[in-house]
Amino acid sequence: MVAIQNSSHTLTSETTLRDIIKTIPTTYFEKKPLRAWFSVLFSVIAAGLGYVSIAFAPWYLMPLAWIFTGTALTGWFVIGHDCGHRSFSNKVWVNDLVGHIAFLPLLFPFHGWRFKHDHHHLHTNKMSEDNAWYPFTIEEYEQGKGLVSNVYKLIRTRFWWIGSIIHWGNLHFNAELYPERQRDQVKFSYRLVLAFGAVIIPTLIYTVGLVGLINFFVMPWLVYHFWMSTFTIVHHTMPDIAFKDKEHWHAATDQLTGTVHCDYPAWVEWLCHDINVHIPHHISTGIPSYNLRLAHKCLEENWGEYLYKTKFSWELMKDIGDRCHIYDSEKCYKTFAEVDAANS
């Protein structure tokens, strides 16, 4: 569902990201320590309430406690996300410290994610460059026949919600995937995560048993990855949003029109600090999460007809899972059935 409205600016091949950024007031880029630390306090309290609910909920309410806690922990990721983009604090060491602390309960390596995520922002929806939910070409799909293509089929259809787990395990614990200059930081982050896991998991088993480990860690962690998978696939994947070859990719056009604004239930938006108000974030990563809605309003006023807006629903996820499979330069995507039929 694309929202169409009048715009005061026209998007052309000459438009630059700087031109779009200039339509957003500079005050929306300012870091406000009180707002930033209030977000931290809010997420700490929310997660604390979630863990209390797990401790005292009867068995039939436990799924609700898992969902609430995992969603609150997703808010921790968003705080770390601001830190990774240096939009939490003006001090690098504060961003790194808070980012690592926010990511630790999620067993997520901060620097490894930060470097890969920065690459995603530089090459959003660019084939062979973007590392977030990019679609296989027919050639990649055929070459990967077997385990790779079968896993790809799973996460592009009804099992999209495990995509984040595969991305987490595949990219962030191998320093060889990073340039030499980044490897020491990558190693520091994943070693810290491994050390944290080596302490917290046995401690949970010792204090609350295997059932407690599942209740307090595994299930909220899976809910967190459900939201990570859902948010990130929806951010740039729609049947009519194209990935493009390098020669046809244009930074301003593809960041503005290739990013999706998706409305979720209010409690999800609150707990996750408006991360799904995502278009302004791809115009500039310097906008703190607490200013995303203000920046989005400016984009609506100035570039409204180019914004892709939708609302979360299971029907939306079904549509993505049914249609957004294999890259096609002419119509964005081909389905697995179309590709398999053509090659049979």
Return the pLDDT at 5. 54
Cα separation of the two ends of the chain: 34
Q: Are 321 and 152 in contact (CB under 8 A)?
A: no
**CB contact at 8 A, 101 and 47:** no
The closest alpha carbon to 193, from 117, 82, 110, belongs to: 110
pLDDT of residue 1: 47
Residue percentage of the chain with pLDDT more than 90:
93
Mean residue pLDDT of the chain comes to: 95
Please, which pLDDT band fits residue 276 given cuts at 50, 70 and 90?
Answer: very high
pLDDT at 209 over 90: yes
Question: Is the pLDDT confidence value at 11 over 60?
Answer: yes
pLDDT at 323 over 50: yes
What pLDDT does 284 receive?
97
Dump the DSSP string for 163-180. HHHHHHHHHSS-GGGS-G
Burial 237-248 (b: 16+ CB within 10 A, else e): bbeebbbbeeee
> In the prediction, which pLDDT does 145 show?
82
Q: Is the pLDDT of residue 228 over 90?
A: yes
> How many angstroms separate the CA atoms of 258 and 291, rounded?
21
Q: Is the model's pTM score more than 0.85?
A: yes
What is the reported pLDDT for 9? 85
Residue 2 clears pLDDT 80, i.e. is over it? no
C-alpha to C-alpha distance for 134 and 27, rounded to whole angstroms: 34
- Helix, strand and coil content of the chain, in percent to the nearest 5, comes to 65, 5, 30
Instruction: Give the mean model confidence (pLDDT) for residues 20-27.
Output: 97
Predicted confidence (pLDDT) at residue 342 exceeds the cutoff of 90? no
Query: What's at 295, amino acid-wise?
Result: A
Mean pLDDT of 221-229: 98
**Residue 246 pLDDT more than 60?**
yes
pLDDT at 4 over 60: no
* Three-state helix/strand/coil letters over 75-144: HHHHHHHHHHCCCCCCCHHHHHHHHHHHHHHHCCCHHHHHHHHHHHHHCCCECCCCCCCCCECHHHHHHC
pLDDT at 6: 60
141-161 per-position pLDDT tens digit: 999 888 999 999 999 999 999
